[in-house]
Protein backbone atom coordinates (compact mmCIF):
# COMPACT_ATOMS: atom_id res chain seq x y z
CA UNK A 1 0.00 0.00 0.00
CA UNK A 2 1.33 3.41 -0.99
CA UNK A 3 1.65 6.61 0.99
CA UNK A 4 0.73 9.84 -0.83
CA UNK A 5 1.11 13.48 0.15
CA UNK A 6 -1.65 15.96 -0.74
CA UNK A 7 -0.40 19.56 -0.74
CA UNK A 8 -3.13 22.23 -0.61
CA UNK A 9 -1.59 25.23 -2.39
CA UNK A 10 -4.69 26.96 -3.73
CA UNK A 11 -4.87 29.83 -1.24
CA UNK A 12 -4.11 33.42 -2.17
CA UNK A 13 -2.19 34.27 0.97
CA UNK A 14 -4.20 37.34 1.93
CA UNK A 15 -2.33 37.77 5.24
CA UNK A 16 1.02 37.80 3.45
CA UNK A 17 -0.12 40.79 1.41
CA UNK A 18 -1.11 41.48 -2.18
CA UNK A 19 0.71 39.93 -5.12
CA UNK A 20 1.48 36.45 -6.39
CA UNK A 21 -0.42 33.56 -4.70
CA UNK A 22 1.54 32.60 -1.56
CA UNK A 23 2.61 29.14 -2.76
CA UNK A 24 4.18 30.63 -5.89
CA UNK A 25 6.21 33.32 -4.09
CA UNK A 26 9.96 32.90 -4.01
CA UNK A 27 11.90 31.66 -0.98
CA UNK A 28 15.65 31.58 -1.56
CA UNK A 29 14.93 32.04 -5.27
CA UNK A 30 12.65 28.97 -5.50
CA UNK A 31 8.82 28.96 -5.20
CA UNK A 32 7.54 28.10 -1.70
CA UNK A 33 5.50 25.28 -3.26
CA UNK A 34 8.61 23.61 -4.71
CA UNK A 35 10.22 23.59 -1.27
CA UNK A 36 7.09 21.94 0.14
CA UNK A 37 6.97 19.34 -2.66
CA UNK A 38 10.64 18.50 -2.08
CA UNK A 39 10.05 18.23 1.67
CA UNK A 40 7.36 15.57 1.05
CA UNK A 41 9.27 13.73 -1.69
CA UNK A 42 12.34 13.62 0.58
CA UNK A 43 10.55 11.00 2.66
CA UNK A 44 11.17 7.44 1.44
CA UNK A 45 7.63 6.64 2.56
CA UNK A 46 6.05 9.04 0.03
CA UNK A 47 5.70 7.71 -3.54
CA UNK A 48 3.09 10.18 -4.86
CA UNK A 49 2.66 13.93 -4.36
CA UNK A 50 -0.64 15.60 -5.33
CA UNK A 51 -0.45 19.39 -5.58
CA UNK A 52 -3.76 21.26 -5.29
CA UNK A 53 -3.13 24.38 -7.37
CA UNK A 54 -4.87 27.76 -7.41
CA UNK A 55 -8.11 27.20 -9.42
CA UNK A 56 -6.78 29.08 -12.45
CA UNK A 57 -3.14 28.11 -11.93
CA UNK A 58 -2.94 24.36 -12.57
CA UNK A 59 -1.07 24.75 -15.87
CA UNK A 60 1.46 27.11 -14.26
CA UNK A 61 2.02 24.72 -11.36
CA UNK A 62 2.54 21.77 -13.75
CA UNK A 63 5.09 23.88 -15.56
CA UNK A 64 6.87 24.70 -12.28
CA UNK A 65 7.09 21.02 -11.29
CA UNK A 66 8.59 20.20 -14.70
CA UNK A 67 11.08 23.04 -14.43
CA UNK A 68 12.52 22.04 -11.04
CA UNK A 69 14.57 18.99 -10.13
CA UNK A 70 12.47 16.54 -8.08
CA UNK A 71 13.16 12.98 -6.93
CA UNK A 72 12.41 10.53 -9.77
CA UNK A 73 11.13 7.72 -7.58
CA UNK A 74 8.09 9.88 -6.76
CA UNK A 75 5.05 10.56 -8.98
CA UNK A 76 3.50 14.04 -9.19
CA UNK A 77 -0.07 15.09 -9.97
CA UNK A 78 -1.65 18.55 -10.15
CA UNK A 79 -5.36 19.33 -9.63
CA UNK A 80 -7.17 22.68 -9.38
CA UNK A 81 -8.27 23.65 -5.87
CA UNK A 82 -11.41 25.18 -4.35
CA UNK A 83 -12.75 28.12 -2.38
CA UNK A 84 -11.67 26.84 1.03
CA UNK A 85 -8.71 24.82 2.28
CA UNK A 86 -11.10 22.03 3.20
CA UNK A 87 -12.49 21.88 -0.34
CA UNK A 88 -8.99 21.94 -1.81
CA UNK A 89 -7.94 18.98 0.34
CA UNK A 90 -11.07 17.07 -0.68
CA UNK A 91 -10.34 17.68 -4.36
CA UNK A 92 -6.80 16.39 -3.84
CA UNK A 93 -7.93 13.28 -1.96
CA UNK A 94 -10.49 12.50 -4.68
CA UNK A 95 -7.72 12.12 -7.27
CA UNK A 96 -5.73 9.54 -5.31
CA UNK A 97 -5.31 6.18 -7.04
CA UNK A 98 -6.81 3.07 -5.40
CA UNK A 99 -3.55 1.66 -4.06
CA UNK A 100 -2.94 4.66 -1.74
CA UNK A 101 -3.70 3.63 1.85
CA UNK A 102 -1.98 6.38 3.85
CA UNK A 103 -2.41 10.11 3.14
CA UNK A 104 -0.29 12.99 4.43
CA UNK A 105 -1.91 16.41 4.09
CA UNK A 106 0.71 19.16 4.03
CA UNK A 107 0.31 22.94 3.70
CA UNK A 108 2.31 24.37 0.80
CA UNK A 109 2.83 27.25 3.22
CA UNK A 110 5.13 25.08 5.42
CA UNK A 111 8.05 24.81 3.01
CA UNK A 112 10.78 23.96 5.53
CA UNK A 113 9.38 20.97 7.43
CA UNK A 114 12.27 18.54 8.08
CA UNK A 115 12.07 15.03 6.65
CA UNK A 116 12.28 13.49 10.14
CA UNK A 117 8.93 15.08 10.99
CA UNK A 118 7.37 13.74 7.77
CA UNK A 119 8.73 10.27 8.52
CA UNK A 120 7.48 10.36 12.11
CA UNK A 121 3.94 11.21 10.99
CA UNK A 122 3.87 8.60 8.22
CA UNK A 123 5.37 6.01 10.57
CA UNK A 124 2.73 6.57 13.24
CA UNK A 125 -0.08 6.05 10.70
CA UNK A 126 1.59 2.93 9.34
CA UNK A 127 1.84 1.70 12.95
CA UNK A 128 -1.95 1.87 13.22
CA UNK A 129 -3.03 5.39 14.23
CA UNK A 130 -6.05 6.54 12.14
CA UNK A 131 -4.92 10.17 12.41
CA UNK A 132 -1.63 11.82 13.45
CA UNK A 133 -0.66 15.46 14.03
CA UNK A 134 2.79 16.96 14.64
CA UNK A 135 2.51 19.50 17.44
CA UNK A 136 4.55 21.85 19.65
CA UNK A 137 3.92 23.45 23.05
CA UNK A 138 2.96 27.14 22.98
CA UNK A 139 5.19 30.03 23.97
CA UNK A 140 2.33 32.50 24.40
CA UNK A 141 -0.54 32.22 26.83
CA UNK A 142 -3.82 31.85 24.90
CA UNK A 143 -7.12 33.53 25.81
CA UNK A 144 -10.59 32.71 24.57
CA UNK A 145 -12.48 35.91 23.80
CA UNK A 146 -16.06 36.96 23.25
CA UNK A 147 -16.13 38.68 19.84
CA UNK A 148 -16.99 42.38 19.92
CA UNK A 149 -20.71 42.97 19.31
CA UNK A 150 -20.39 46.24 17.43
CA UNK A 151 -17.49 47.86 15.56
CA UNK A 152 -15.32 49.83 17.98
CA UNK A 153 -16.36 47.74 20.97
CA UNK A 154 -13.53 45.82 22.71
CA UNK A 155 -13.29 42.06 22.87
CA UNK A 156 -13.55 40.53 26.35
CA UNK A 157 -11.66 37.56 27.71
CA UNK A 158 -13.91 34.69 28.67
CA UNK A 159 -11.34 32.00 29.52
CA UNK A 160 -7.63 31.17 29.82
CA UNK A 161 -6.98 27.51 28.98
CA UNK A 162 -4.06 25.94 30.87
CA UNK A 163 -1.11 26.54 28.53
CA UNK A 164 0.71 23.34 29.40
CA UNK A 165 -2.19 21.34 27.92
CA UNK A 166 -2.31 23.28 24.64
CA UNK A 167 -0.43 22.40 21.46
CA UNK A 168 0.08 24.27 18.22
CA UNK A 169 -0.45 21.77 15.43
CA UNK A 170 1.46 21.71 12.19
CA UNK A 171 1.46 19.66 9.01
CA UNK A 172 1.94 17.13 7.52
CA UNK A 173 -1.02 15.55 9.27
CA UNK A 174 -1.26 11.85 8.50
CA UNK A 175 -4.34 9.69 7.99
CA UNK A 176 -5.51 6.27 7.21
CA UNK A 177 -7.10 6.99 3.84
CA UNK A 178 -10.55 5.65 4.70
CA UNK A 179 -10.69 7.80 7.85
CA UNK A 180 -9.81 10.99 5.98
CA UNK A 181 -12.34 10.23 3.24
CA UNK A 182 -15.05 9.58 5.81
CA UNK A 183 -14.25 12.84 7.58
CA UNK A 184 -14.59 14.79 4.34
CA UNK A 185 -17.81 12.99 3.41
CA UNK A 186 -19.59 13.17 6.78
CA UNK A 187 -18.34 16.19 8.73
CA UNK A 188 -20.07 19.46 7.91
CA UNK A 189 -18.10 22.65 8.59
CA UNK A 190 -19.56 25.98 7.55
CA UNK A 191 -17.97 29.35 6.82
CA UNK A 192 -14.34 29.14 5.75
CA UNK A 193 -14.25 25.40 6.35
CA UNK A 194 -11.98 23.43 8.64
CA UNK A 195 -8.55 24.96 9.27
CA UNK A 196 -7.12 21.51 9.89
CA UNK A 197 -7.97 17.99 8.76
CA UNK A 198 -7.49 16.24 12.08
CA UNK A 199 -10.24 18.45 13.53
CA UNK A 200 -12.72 16.79 11.19
CA UNK A 201 -11.54 13.34 12.26
CA UNK A 202 -11.97 14.39 15.91
CA UNK A 203 -15.58 15.25 15.15
CA UNK A 204 -16.08 11.70 13.90
CA UNK A 205 -14.97 10.61 17.36
CA UNK A 206 -11.77 8.92 16.20
CA UNK A 207 -8.53 9.21 18.20
CA UNK A 208 -5.89 11.63 16.92
CA UNK A 209 -2.32 10.84 17.96
CA UNK A 210 0.28 13.58 18.58
CA UNK A 211 3.93 13.29 17.55
CA UNK A 212 6.58 15.99 18.15
CA UNK A 213 6.46 18.82 15.63
CA UNK A 214 9.44 20.95 14.62
CA UNK A 215 10.14 24.68 14.88
CA UNK A 216 11.09 24.77 11.20
CA UNK A 217 7.68 23.40 10.21
CA UNK A 218 6.16 26.84 10.93
CA UNK A 219 3.60 28.21 8.48
CA UNK A 220 4.49 31.19 6.31
CA UNK A 221 1.46 33.33 7.05
CA UNK A 222 2.52 36.97 7.55
CA UNK A 223 5.40 38.99 6.08
CA UNK A 224 7.64 38.39 9.13
CA UNK A 225 7.35 34.62 8.56
CA UNK A 226 8.96 35.07 5.16
CA UNK A 227 11.90 36.86 6.80
CA UNK A 228 12.30 33.93 9.20
CA UNK A 229 12.00 31.39 6.38
CA UNK A 230 14.75 33.12 4.39
CA UNK A 231 16.99 33.08 7.48
CA UNK A 232 16.37 29.36 8.15
CA UNK A 233 17.13 28.54 4.53
CA UNK A 234 20.31 30.63 4.56
CA UNK A 235 21.45 28.83 7.72
CA UNK A 236 20.82 25.45 6.06
CA UNK A 237 22.77 26.44 3.00
CA UNK A 238 25.73 27.81 5.02
N1 LIG B 1 -5.37 26.58 0.78
C2 LIG B 1 -5.94 25.92 -0.32
N3 LIG B 1 -7.15 26.32 -0.81
C4 LIG B 1 -7.80 27.37 -0.26
C5 LIG B 1 -7.24 28.06 0.85
C6 LIG B 1 -6.02 27.64 1.37
O7 LIG B 1 -5.33 24.98 -0.84
N8 LIG B 1 -8.95 27.75 -0.80
C9 LIG B 1 -4.04 26.18 1.26
C10 LIG B 1 -3.02 27.30 1.18
O11 LIG B 1 -2.52 27.41 -0.16
C12 LIG B 1 -1.98 26.91 2.21
C13 LIG B 1 -2.77 26.05 3.20
O14 LIG B 1 -4.06 25.82 2.63
O15 LIG B 1 -0.92 26.14 1.67
C16 LIG B 1 -2.86 26.73 4.56
O17 LIG B 1 -3.69 27.88 4.47
P18 LIG B 1 -3.24 29.36 4.82
O19 LIG B 1 -1.90 29.38 5.46
O20 LIG B 1 -4.39 30.01 5.48
O21 LIG B 1 -3.01 29.97 3.35
P22 LIG B 1 -3.94 31.02 2.58
O23 LIG B 1 -5.37 30.66 2.79
O24 LIG B 1 -3.42 31.10 1.20
O25 LIG B 1 -3.56 32.37 3.36
P26 LIG B 1 -4.58 33.47 3.94
O27 LIG B 1 -5.49 32.72 4.88
O28 LIG B 1 -3.69 34.47 4.62
O29 LIG B 1 -5.29 34.03 2.74
MG1 LIG C 1 -6.25 30.72 4.76
Task: Check pocket membership of 221 for ligand 1, CB cut-off 6 A.
Answer: yes
Atom of ligand 1 nearest to the CA of 221: 19
Among protein residues, the one with the nearest Cα to ligand 1's atom 23 is: 11
pLDDT at residue 192 is higher than 80: no
Q: What is the ipTM of this complex?
A: 0.99
Q: Are 128 and 54 in contact (CB under 8 A)?
A: no
Radius of gyration of the chain (CA): 18
Task: Check pocket membership of 109 for ligand 1, CB cut-off 6 A.
Answer: yes
Measured CA angle at 136 (ends 133, 37), to 5 deg:
55
Task: Check pocket membership of 4 for ligand 1, CB cut-off 6 A.
Answer: no
What would the pLDDT profile of 51-83 be if each residue is shown by its tens digit?
999 999 999 999 999 999 999 999 999 999 999
Q: Is the pTM here over 0.90, yes or no?
A: yes
Task: Check pocket membership of 13 for ligand 1, CB cut-off 6 A.
Answer: yes
CA nearest to 131, candidates 162, 96, 91, 173: 173
What would the pLDDT profile of 134-144 be if each residue is shown by its tens digit?
999 999 999 99
If you measure from the C-alpha of residue 84 to the centroid of ligand 2, how many angstroms do you get, rounded to a whole number?
8
Spatial separation of the C-alpha atoms in residues 96 and 158, rounded to whole Å: 43
Spatial separation of the C-alpha atoms in residues 2 and 98, rounded to whole Å: 9
Task: Check pocket membership of 7 for ligand 1, CB cut-off 6 A.
Answer: no
Task: Check pocket membership of 21 for ligand 1, CB cut-off 6 A.
Answer: no
What would the pLDDT profile of 14-47 be if each residue is shown by its tens digit?
999 999 999 999 999 999 999 999 999 999 999 9
Q: Are 131 and 206 in contact (CB under 8 A)?
A: yes
CA nearest to 33, candidates 115, 110, 108: 108
Q: Which domains, ranges and CATH numbers included, belong to the chain?
A: 2-135+168-237 (3.90.550.10)
What would the pLDDT profile of 92-128 be if each residue is shown by its tens digit?
999 999 999 999 999 999 999 999 999 999 999 999 9
Atom of ligand 1 nearest to the CA of 220: 19
Atom of ligand 1 nearest to the CA of 8: 7
Amino acid sequence: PRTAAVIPAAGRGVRLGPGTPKALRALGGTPILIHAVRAMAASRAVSLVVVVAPPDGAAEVKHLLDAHALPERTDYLVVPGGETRQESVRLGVETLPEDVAVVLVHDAARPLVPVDTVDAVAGAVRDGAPAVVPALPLADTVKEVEPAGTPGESERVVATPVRARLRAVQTPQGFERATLERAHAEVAVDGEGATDDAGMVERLGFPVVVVPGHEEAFKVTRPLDLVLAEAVLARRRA
